[in-house]
A and B are shown apart, each in its own frame.
Chain A
Amino acid sequence: MTKQHANWSPYDNNGGTCVAIAGSDYCVIAADTRMSTGYSILSRDYSKIHKLADKAVLSSSGFQADVKALQKVLKSRHLIYQHQHNKQMSCPAMAQLLSNTLYFKRFFPYYAFNVLGGLDEEGKGCVFTYDAVGSYERVGYGAQGSGSTLIMPFLDNQLKSPSPLLLPKQDSNTPLSEAEAVDLVKTVFASATERDIYTGDKLEIMILKADGIKTELMDLRKD
């Protein structure tokens, strides 16, 4: 007698890839704009990047309904924080909040694979990478989503960020300039688009610096 399995799942995977790279005084967060289900495309123009605070930007792939719900919760919590502290949340604070929010639903998780990018309290770029239930780590660069397995090894090759667990403590930020980092992001996405069917259409790049956020859009292969 084999165990009966559910013929309905509360989750779906809408595909897509998210990448973030931390620099000395900037952070690049990028994601493709394709939203799919199964082998079909739902939208070629769906943004997976969401600004949570002045210095913290979240990019998530996975089940976009859960991602949207997660963004709403974080937005409300940020408003409460601003009322209580009279200032915006810092990126490390938002990172911890995101982790707690994810773990809160440990037994019915948000199907969201997150990369949080921003500037830390010292003005340096920071990237935090998460799993679905809130385990997180500060890194120099990160990739999540359907194309992450194609992108991550290449980023390791190019950026080779030392482990934050090594002593003496080394900066995990890349010494690359902003222009070089943006170029690298465009290259990895173009490559990932070639082999990952769920990645493509357009690439949205957000560059976070102390004076503000710039957004760039680049076309990717649409097949």
Chain B
Amino acid sequence: MFRNQYDTDVTTWSPTGRLFQVEYAMEAVKQGSAAIGLRSRSHVVLACVNKAQSELSSHQRKIFKVDDHIGVAIAGLTADGRVLSRYMRSESINHSFTYESPLPVGRLVVHLADKAQVCTQRSWKRPYGVGLLVGGLDESGAHLYYNCPSGNYFEYQAFAIGSRSQAAKTYLERRFESFGDSSREDLIKDAILAVRETLQGETLKSSLCTVAILGVDEPFHFLDQEAIQKVIDTFEKVPEEEEGEDEAEAGAAQPAEQGGAGAGDVAPMEM
């Protein structure tokens, strides 16, 4: 109830040391449709749920190519996401132009985070209302980062953001330890299965999700509907068996998955 007193300006602290406008921006991320990212040692897969406003309209684009070696999936205010993608593309091109080499992912997310931070310290601006899952490949390997509206960023083995992402996160928490050595095909399958978790009951169809992949010797590109449908067909055919398997796994797996995915819960603004 007291929140309302200190939440008019992004430049006003609350007595308990919080910036409510920034926290409200994080809420906007939670309202967007789900986006999922996971990585192995050699590949990064980004997947998202396609939600269209109505049957008449097309769905919003939530995954963008930044460069051959970097892609980004967004959740929240997609307009903000589009603008930030354009910024990322521009940074990548400028780096390539100056250094004749691809922009390391870690540098890009720092630029993004600094840009987001500026909006948390200007009275005439508002924070970006979008969370970004940045996946990329550089000399130090495959990386997946999550950039918040707060200006924080974290590296993950696997993560999910947006509405009903907790279901996907639970699925990923059970499996993330094996992702590092996963094959390309297994990684895609896990991504689609994670998307299925967020749909909670709705039948998974290739038209409902978008999947993109990048990796060693594989520039960023989207998977076409047929390829996605093929993967779905491998597990949707025997849904009973798959559920039985998952339950057995959950029982056997250690609950100590506080590693990568756990760090997300300790994000400062998430209460």
Contact = CB atoms under 8 A, between A and B. Distances in A.
Q: Is chain A's interface secondary structure helix, strand, loop, or mixed overall? A: helix
Nearest to B64: A83
Q: Is chain B's interface secondary structure helix, strand, loop, or mixed overall? A: helix
B89 A80 contact: yes
Contacts of A83: 65, 86, 89
A53 interface: no
B2 interface: no
Q: How large is the interface on A (under 10, 10 to 19, 20 to 34, 35 or more residues)?
A: under 10
Contacts of B93: 76, 79-80
Contacts of B89: 79-80, 83
A76 B95 CA distance: 10
A155 to B, nearest CB: 36
Contacts of A79: 89, 93
A106 interface: no
A72 interface: yes
A80 B94 CA distance: 11
Contacts of B96: 76
A79 B103 CA distance: 15
Interface string A66-78: 0000001000100
A77 to B, nearest CB: 9
B97 interface: yes
Q: How large is the interface on B (under 10, 10 to 19, 20 to 34, 35 or more residues)?
A: under 10
A192 B97 CA distance: 36
A178 to B, nearest CB: 31
A83 B85 CA distance: 10
B79 to A, nearest CB: 16
Nearest to B92: A79
A76 B93 CA distance: 6
Interface string A47-83: 0000000000000000000000000100010011001
A72 B97 contact: yes
A83 B94 CA distance: 14
A72 B97 CA distance: 7
Interface in A102-119: none
A72 B86 CA distance: 20
Nearest to A73: B97
Contacts of B90: 80
Nearest to A82: B65
A83 B82 CA distance: 12
A208 B6 CA distance: 65
B28 to A, nearest CB: 25
A83 B97 CA distance: 16
B29 to A, nearest CB: 24
A72 B94 CA distance: 11
Given A80-B93, A83-B86, 7 more contacts: A72-B97, A76-B93, A76-B94, A76-B97, A79-B89, A80-B89, A83-B89
Interface of B: 65, 86, 89-90, 93-94, 96-97
13 contacts: A72-B97, A76-B93, A76-B94, A76-B96, A76-B97, A79-B89, A79-B93, A80-B89, A80-B90, A80-B93, A83-B65, A83-B86, A83-B89
Which 9 pairs show the lowest CB-CB distances between chains A and B?
A76-B93, A76-B97, A83-B89, A79-B93, A72-B97, A80-B93, A83-B65, A80-B89, A76-B96
